[in-house]
A and B are shown apart, each in its own frame.
Chain A
Amino acid sequence: MADPMKIRAQLKGDVTEIRVLMGHAMETGQRKDAAGKTIPPLFIQSMTVEVGGKKVVDGQIGTSVSRNPVFGFKMKGAKVGDKVVVSWVDNKGDKRTDEAAVA
């Protein structure tokens, strides 16, 4: 099973900064292992960020996002205590959803 994400959401003035750290191999499908065998692609394809029950970011990503991806977003209109829910799904159907509250 996938590792939990780290989510940080902080209200500064009227802007909420959201940073997400995901544990994922993000294999490109182009690397070879020690034995010279191609390592099959394994990468997150889509991710969403919902705040207070509304989707604010809908993302699609490819193999060239770094291993253990980090994303940062900003939004207006959120308040302290709002629930931030981040989800991702990879190309093998593995998925993960974690949440945090706006601080």
Chain B
Amino acid sequence: MNTTRRTVLKSATASGVLAGLIAAGALRPTQVLAAEWNKAAFEAHDTVGALKGIGAGAPADSKDLILKVPDIAENGAVVPVDVISNIPNTTSISILVEKNPSPLSASFDFANGALPEVSARLKMGQTSLVKAVAKADGKFYTAQKEVKVTVGGCGG
């Protein structure tokens, strides 16, 4: 089903064809709207590449983008990250971990009443900056914080 949808999206760019499929009930609108996985952005090996991949060349620092992360993560395998955007008309939020092999972790688009905020849990290989990027009115904004990943003992 997933493959079908992709094939349709790739081959049938003519909107008329899509509209026909929707009308015929072959596809639900939401599925049509779902974008292809952004391979270029997620597989980029540095932040510059990842930002370029999501269309955010040089995002501006913003105090209105709130990034909540622990100062020290007890375990790099599970680092809780909360992002809240107070920037008006925010439509998407992405989260990046600078020193991970592929920095882009996740990217969310919001619609239909969703508030521009998200909480997620990420893996971090080492102490690194965590970046949030928000898109609002076609512009990109960013905020960042360092999370220390500690050496573990026994126990747990």
Contact = CB atoms under 8 A, between A and B. Distances in A.
Query: A and B: direct contact (Cβ < 8 Å)?
Result: yes
B119 A72 contact: yes
A75 B114 contact: yes
Interface of A: 15, 26, 28, 30, 45-46, 48-51, 54-67, 69-78, 89, 91, 93, 95
B138 to A, nearest CB: 18
Contacts of B97: 64
B30 interface: yes
Contact of A66 (B35, B82, B123): B123
Contacts, number: 114
The A interface, classified by DSSP as helix, strand, loop or mixed, is strand
B120 A60 contact: no
A89 B6 CA distance: 13
Given A51-B112, A72-B119, 7 more contacts: A15-B115, A55-B112, A57-B110, A61-B106, A71-B118, A75-B113, A75-B114
A74 B151 CA distance: 34
Given A60-B38, A61-B105, A65-B120, A55 B33 contact: yes
A86 to B, nearest CB: 12
